[in-house]
Amino acid sequence: MNPGNTETIPKILLINGPNLNLLGLREPGIYGCESLDAVEKDLQELAIQRDIQFSCFQSNHEGAIVDRIQSAMGATDYIIINPGALTHYSIALYDALKGSGIPFIEIHISNIYAREEFRQKSLLSPIASGVIGGLGTIGYRLALLAIADRLLAKN
């Protein structure tokens, strides 16, 4: 890649859904003790090392997330998304991701298939280019590395 040419630098957007702003505080036995700010900082540093333009967005509001996905169209190469509870019921989020045409990796800090029955269904997994779950916050890092490898393979 050419660091001086922003046209060829891959652009990745991280989206975190409801309650992920409480990461590190909410149920640390399930979600760990690392804050969302710490996760984002780690990913920003990794993105710089990989010559990737990286931005982050978190909202507790479904419509704001849909708006952010729509505004990423034509300006983002890949999305990493931890949709939180929206995973299980948000047809609006499904439609926004599918309609945007932006490939995405769905991540979950916990293993949703080892949790309550209502958490064991993801509406998004069938349209995701990949799914990472149950590995804690390292899943974010793995998603970024996988995307970097995929985008570099295209160049």
Please identify which of the residues 31, 78, 94, 140 carries the catalytic annotation. Answer: 31
Which candidate, 80, 76, 74, places its Cα nearest to that of 17? 80
Amino acid at the residue 7: E
Please identify which of the residues 61, 89, 94, 108 carries the catalytic annotation. Answer: 108
How far are the Cα atoms of 58, 66, 98, 116 from residue 92, in angstroms, in the given order?
Answer: 17, 7, 10, 23
- The verdict on whether 108 is a catalytic residue reads yes
Task: Note whether 31 and 110 are within 8 A (CB).
Answer: yes
- The verdict on whether 61 is a catalytic residue reads no
Report residue 34 as tokens.
């690392």
Active site members: 31, 108
